Amino acid sequence: GGNHLFYLSVPPAVYAVVAEGLGAAELAHSAGWVRLAVEKPHGHDLASAHELARRLLHVVQEDQVYRVDHYLGKETVQNILMFRFANAVFEPVWNSTYIDHVQITVAEQLGVGERAGYFDQAGLLRDMFQNHMLQLLALVAMEAPALFDATCLHDEKARVLDAVRLRPEDVVRGQYAAGTVGGVHLKGYRDEQGIAAESRSETYVAARLAIDTPRWRGVPFYLRSGKRLRCRKSEIAVAFKPVARSIFQPLTPRDLTPNLLVFNIQPDEGVALMIQAKKPGPKLCMCDLNLDVSYREAFHTDPPEAYERLLLDCMCGDRSLFLREDIIEKSWSLLAPIL
């Protein structure tokens, strides 16, 4: 008669089987609440995602399902909306009049490691783009939700995903090869244990997207993610346009570095704003000045694990940081032509 949270961190092939088993054992109903937290991947294409949802929703209601994308539990990712909507200075310039382009990068140093079986079936587009990358994009590009609650947030995310335009010719894919980095020899993807010698699964994807809304018309969004890259670094860089005119003759607008706002998602969590400043001294010399804030230094604490927050929210019944089914399906639809 109490509350039950079932957390399905099991092979994806048995998500629905487990849920149906819970249903058959009459564990899907209780006098208290029953919730189902489900790990990613949420399907491997639109049809399988739809089928998974159909089977889960045969056992429980949509508002009982907590579909995980652990990026949404990261402090720095949650902070994007505070940054945009709790400050007066950014939202007025958050549009195509002032922003030149946006770059979203999730670079990993690790290779495929011990997850060959899963990864080689999936590839990076499914593993990182369908979920984490598109979620980061949605947070940067969405309109302000009417309220900071799950329904309003999900509605706005769904709207912006509807406006994303992604053409296969604007996507490149790659696969890491063997090489020597800093004197250390690293295996190529096809040499990794469990990967077929002729595997064509991608370990790197870069894409240029457009968002067809009045706010973003003409602003390219560059997304890239890969395994076994030079360093581990996830960041969102918002590149502003140059100033319209320069009063600092003979410097022209082109001589002044445009502003750059960077959300450092990990590992050095923080936010940085690059501005132009006068170099100290008698001459008029401009220089770049990076206003760089580290969350660790500012808050005197390490950011908590994403899962601490996510599992707590499951228990509290807050679905804001989870994925609604329509958002998952929209993400798969976007990638379908490339897959």
Q: Is 235 in the site for ligand BG6 (CB under 6 A)?
A: no
In sequence order, which residues have a C-beta less than 8 Å from that of residue 232 and are 6 or more positions away? Answer: 107, 108, 109, 110, 266, 267
Q: Which two tokens stand for residue 262?
A: 């960077």
Residue pair 122/197 in contact (Cβ under 8 Å)? The answer is no
Please report how close the Cβ of residue 111 comes to ligand BG6 at its closest, in angstroms: 10
By CB under 6 A, what part of segment 21-80 binds ligand BG6? Answer: 40
Q: Which is nearer to ligand BG6, 40 or 224 (CB)?
A: 40
Which long-range contacts link 154-159 to residues 24+ away (Cβ below 8 Å)? 154/319, 154/324, 154/326, 154/327, 157/327, 158/324, 158/326, 158/327, 158/330
Q: Does 156 bind ligand BG6 (CB under 6 A)?
A: no
Q: Give 40 or 157: the residue with its C-beta nearer to ligand BG6.
A: 40
Residue nearest to ligand BG6 (CB): 127
Q: Indicate whether 202 belongs to the interface with ligand BG6 (CB under 6 A).
A: no
In this structure, what DSSP letter does residue 39 have? P
Its sign, for the CA torsion 86, 87, 91, 92, is: positive
CA torsion 147-264-203-178 (nearest 10°) is: -170
- Among 199, 223, 201, residue whose Cα is nearest residue 211: 223
Q: Is 268 in the site for ligand BG6 (CB under 6 A)?
A: no
Q: Which of 127, 313, 325, 329 binds ligand BG6 (CB under 6 A)?
A: 127
User: What would the x/- binding string for ligand BG6 be over residues 86 to 125, using CB under 6 A?
Assistant: ----------------------x-----------------
How far apart, in whole angstroms, are the C-alpha atoms of residue 305 and residue 230?
24
Read off the tokens for 99.
Answer: 């922003």
Tokens coding 229 = 């890259």
CB of 40 to ligand BG6, least distance (A): 6
Number of residues that bind ligand BG6 (CB under 6 A): 3
Shortest Å distance, C-beta 106 to ligand BG6:
7
Q: Which string of b and e fits 266-296 if b means at least 16 CB within 10 Å?
A: beebbbbbbebeeeeeeeeeeeeeeeeeebe
Whole-Å CA distances, 54 to 13, 41, 48, 58, 158: 14, 16, 10, 6, 19
C-beta closer to ligand BG6: residue 108 or 326: 108
CB 139 → ligand BG6: shortest distance, Å? 15
Q: In the complex with ligand BG6, which residue's Cβ is closer, 40 or 309?
A: 40
Task: Examine residue 269 and tell whether it contacts ligand BG6 (CB under 6 A).
Answer: no
Toward ligand BG6, which CB reaches closer, 108 or 155? Answer: 108
CB of residue 271 to ligand BG6, shortest distance in Å: 18
CB of 279 to ligand BG6, least distance (A): 37
Determine if 192 is a binding residue for ligand BG6 (CB under 6 A): no
Using alpha carbons, select from 34, 97, 332 the residue that is nearest to residue 323: 332
Smallest gap from Cβ 70 to ligand BG6, in A, equals 6
- Per CB under 6 A, does 292 bind ligand BG6? no
Of 66 and 216, which has the nearer Cβ to ligand BG6?
A: 66
**Closest CB to ligand BG6 among residues 99, 136:** 136
* Residues known to be catalytic: 132
What is the CB-side half-sphere exposure of residue 206 using CA atoms within 13 A? 9
Footprint on this chain of ligand BG6 (rule: CB under 6 A): 40, 108, 127
